């Protein structure tokens, strides 16, 4: 029998290794609630970005995450927190979503947004809308009040108008900074906004809102309104909101891929996120990042660019924000 012993030990060790990886998912101190947001990722040079400008972004990010945190602390739902936090960023000209959305090749704003509820698996999204003040609220209306998941263009706008979503003139979205960027025909990919929250009831919701890509063709839709690519939520795995080069994020089904690795390989959310962003996307020269959290309130913020505008908080830790990698 002795000859079996080394084999037995190897087999036992390999099983043990698997079990350990699965265990990573649970932390001893599960927070009652948790929330994480992003305001886009990009390759920004730190020395070309003034401290005043960075402070301005971080102040707005912290304002947004505080609004969501208060809702969660008071027992509100993750859906309410995600909508309220994203509204702050959509209404700020600093980000490429709602007011401040970038311009397409015709000089128009065309916006996309999506939401997914990790408890029910329900989802809603709009794409190519031009007159909806807060696209994330239109996505929520599609999820809650229509039999559909994705509505585009004028159909999405008419549905929104009929469902108490605020319609606005295109001039609302105009900002001089984005117009200058358009006029210079610069690429200005960062600035998509997103939020993932876990509420006291244990439900995860993820949402994303964007103006898309500067100088994009009219009608171009990126990953933000695509469930599975830009947004995904499932209480059993995680919630994810993505930002980056949307075409690659669609092709790689980025948001769902993190959940699939957790579900089918038993990896932790951090291991899954690192693999998708640092290995898979980087090998394709696809830049961007994701934020997310799992059912235990473990927060991830993973990006392969120099910067991702981000903020986070939970019942166990005060809110904080950061921009660059080392921050």
Q: Which of residues 256-275 bind its own copies (CB under 8 A)?
A: 256-257, 260-261, 264-265
Beta bridge partners of 116: 123, 206
Residue 117 CA to residue 91 CA, distance in Å, equals 23
Residue 180 CA to residue 178 CA, distance in Å, equals 5
The torsion angle over the Cα atoms of residues 135, 137, 143 and 145, rounded to 10 degrees, is -120
Q: Are 124 and 222 in contact (CB under 8 A)?
A: no
- Determine if residue 26 is left, alpha or beta; phi over 0 gives left, psi from -120 to 50 gives alpha, anything else beta: beta
Given the rule CB under 8 A, which of 49-57, 170-178, 244-252, 303-311 is the region that contacts its own copies? Answer: 244-252
Q: Any contact of residue 4 with its own copies (CB under 8 A)? A: yes
User: In angstroms, what is the minimal distance from the CB of 61 to its own copies?
Assistant: 29
Q: Which of residues 53-82 bind its own copies (CB under 8 A)?
A: none
Q: What are the φ and ψ backbone dihedral angles of 19, each rounded to 5 degrees?
A: -60, -40
Q: Any contact of residue 16 with its own copies (CB under 8 A)? A: no
Residue 191 CA to residue 30 CA, distance in Å, equals 31
Q: Which of 135, 246, 288, 289 binds its own copies (CB under 8 A)?
A: 246
Q: Are 311 and 37 in contact (CB under 8 A)?
A: yes
Given the rule CB under 8 A, which of 20-28, 42-50, 92-100, 255-263 is the region that contacts its own copies? Answer: 255-263
Residue whose CB is less far from its own copies, 88 or 204: 204
Helix (H, G, I), strand (E, B) or coil at 253: coil
Kindly write out the interface string for residues 147-166 of this chain, putting x where it contacts its own copies by CB under 8 A and - elsewhere.
Answer: xxxxxxxxxx-xx-------
Q: Any contact of residue 122 with its own copies (CB under 8 A)? A: yes
**Could you tell me the CA-to-CA distances from 36 to 26, 103, 286, 302 in Å, in that order?**
18, 27, 23, 12
Q: Which of residues 182-211 bind its own copies (CB under 8 A)?
A: none
Q: Any contact of residue 102 with its own copies (CB under 8 A)? A: no
Residue 231 corresponds to which tokens in the numbers above? 């947004």
Q: Any contact of residue 103 with its own copies (CB under 8 A)? A: no
User: In angstroms, what is the minimal distance from the CB of 63 to its own copies?
Assistant: 32
Residue 233 CA to residue 123 CA, distance in Å, equals 9
State the catalytic residues: 192
Residue whose CB is less far from its own copies, 107 or 219: 219
Binding site for its own copies (CB under 8 A): 1-2, 4-5, 7-8, 11-12, 15, 116, 121-123, 127-128, 146-156, 158-159, 216-222, 226-229, 232, 246-247, 250-253, 256-257, 260-261, 264-265, 284
């Amino acid at each position: 029998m002795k000859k079996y012993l080394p084999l037995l030990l190897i087999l036992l060790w390999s099983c043990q290794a698997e079990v350990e990886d699965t265990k990573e998912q649970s932390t001893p101190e599960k927070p009652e609630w948790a929330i994480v947001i992003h305001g886009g990722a990009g390759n920004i040079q730190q020395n070309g970005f003034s401290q005043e400008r960075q402070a301005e972004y971080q102040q707005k990010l912290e304002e947004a995450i505080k609004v969501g945190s208060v809702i969660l602390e008071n027992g509100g739902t993750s859906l309410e927190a995600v909508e309220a936090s994203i509204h702050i960023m959509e209404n700020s000209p600093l980000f490429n979503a709602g007011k401040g959305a970038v311009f397409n090749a015709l000089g128009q704003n065309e916006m996309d947004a999506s939401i997914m509820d990790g408890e029910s698996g329900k989802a809603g999204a709009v794409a190519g809308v031009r007159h909806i003040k807060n696209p994330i609220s239109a996505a929520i209306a599609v999820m809650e009040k229509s039999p559909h998941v994705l509505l585009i263009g004028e159909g999405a706008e008419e549905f929104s108008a009929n469902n108490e979503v605020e319609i606005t003139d295109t001039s609302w979205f105009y900002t001089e900074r984005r117009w200058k960027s358009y006029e210079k025909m610069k690429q200005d990919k960062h600035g998509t906004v997103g939020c993932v929250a876990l509420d006291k009831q244990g439900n995860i919701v993820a949402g994303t809102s964007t103006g898309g890509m500067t100088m994009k063709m009219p009608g171009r839709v990126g990953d933000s309104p695509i469930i599975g690519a830009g947004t995904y939520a499932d209480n059993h795995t995680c919630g994810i909101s993505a930002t980056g080069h949307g075409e690659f994020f669609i092709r790689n089904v980025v948001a769902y891929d993190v959940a699939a690795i957790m579900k089918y390989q038993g990896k932790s959310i951090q291991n899954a996120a690192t693999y998708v962003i640092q290995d898979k996307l980087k090998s394709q020269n696809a830049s961007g990042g994701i934020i997310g959290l799992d059912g235990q309130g473990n927060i991830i913020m993973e990006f392969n660019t120099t910067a991702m505008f981000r903020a986070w908080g939970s019942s166990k830790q005060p809110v904080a924000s950061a921009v660059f990698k080392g921050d």
